Amino acid sequence: LLGGIALRRGNVRVGAASVPWVELRHAAHEIDAYISTAQSPLWCPASLPEQQEPDEADVAVSLPWMPPVEPLGDTLIDTVLWRDNEDDKRVALTFDACSTFYHGQYNRAVIDALVKEQIPATLFIGGHWAETHPTELQFLAAHPQFELGNHTYSHPHMTLLSPERQREELLWTQYLIFSLTGHVPRFWRPPYGETDDALTYTTAQLGLYTVEFDLPAGDADLNISPTRLRDWVLHKATSGSIVVMHMNHPTSKTALVLPEIARTLRARGYTFAKVSDLLDNMRHHFHPPRT
């Protein structure tokens, strides 16, 4: 595996062979084991086995070595975040770039609205989305208003997958984001908001906080009107809310309502924050898996 893996639309090239990504069992575990032996942040072996270079047309992203990541602690508490302290009038707007193959696009108007209104935000990036939008991802990573999180590679129902597949979904996305931006996400958001105790345990061992939400904006429904979307968020937002919206639907109404949402909430005394800014005050919920 060392130095011989490249990711392409769900395929992995190992040396001269091309293997379906979903069938490459335990690959993420083996790579993670190598990475855990790193002696420096960008460790790489002094020499690599000879291998046939993959065809340039077949390779979207070559997977680099990442800095080792520590698990979140022996007791594995405080790892599921769903809202901030109710006494703190801060709201976190978060945006998912989902890797659903039909809707995995880019709504630049959402980002433009956030920049214009000076709203900090946490962006949860799908691995396939990162592959197909590398330039946009690099812009977002470099912008001081934004931080990046992990939203899995292919947007599956994670609780239905084996632990090996769960790790693959998360680690491939970590590697892709790191290879394109130099950033290693600290957070992940489960597709559809679905998680359970065993999955939370797995992700905590990978050094990832699970970020849920208390306010789904509803913008994934492309038929929702701007008025209804705006009114719903303004009615439900409260101190400490984590709001989930989307940045992968070009025809969504999200960008149209962001300026008024921002102005109204600020007039009510709220400020906006990234998830990392809220971390110390987060309410949490964690139960280790039952034996």
Domains detected in the chain: 5-62 (no CATH), 80-284 (3.20.20.370)
Helices 108-116 and 254-267 cross at an angle (nearest 10°) of 20
pLDDT below 50 — which residues of the chain? Answer: 1-63, 284-291
pLDDT of 72 reads 83
Query: What span, in angstroms and rounded, lies between the C-alpha atoms of 242 and 203?
Result: 20
pLDDT score recorded for residue 56 = 36
- Residue 119 buriedness (CB in 10 A; 0-12 / 13-18 / 19+): buried
- The per-residue pLDDT for 281 is 62
**pLDDT tens-digit readout, 68-80:** 788 886 555 578 8
**Per-residue pLDDT at 264:** 98
Integer Cα distance of 35 and 43 in angstroms? 8
| The dihedral formed by the CA atoms of 187, 191, 192 and 195, expressed in degrees to the nearest 10 | -70
Asked if residue 15 lies in contact with residue 58, where contact means CB atoms within 8 angstroms, the answer is no
pLDDT at 247: 97
Provide the whole-model pTM.
0.76
pLDDT at residue 76, as a whole number = 55
Nearest to 55 by CA among 9, 24, 18, 21: 18
Residues composing the chain: 291
pLDDT, tens digit, 9 for 90 and up, residues 32-69: 443 333 332 322 222 223 333 334 333 333 445 778 78
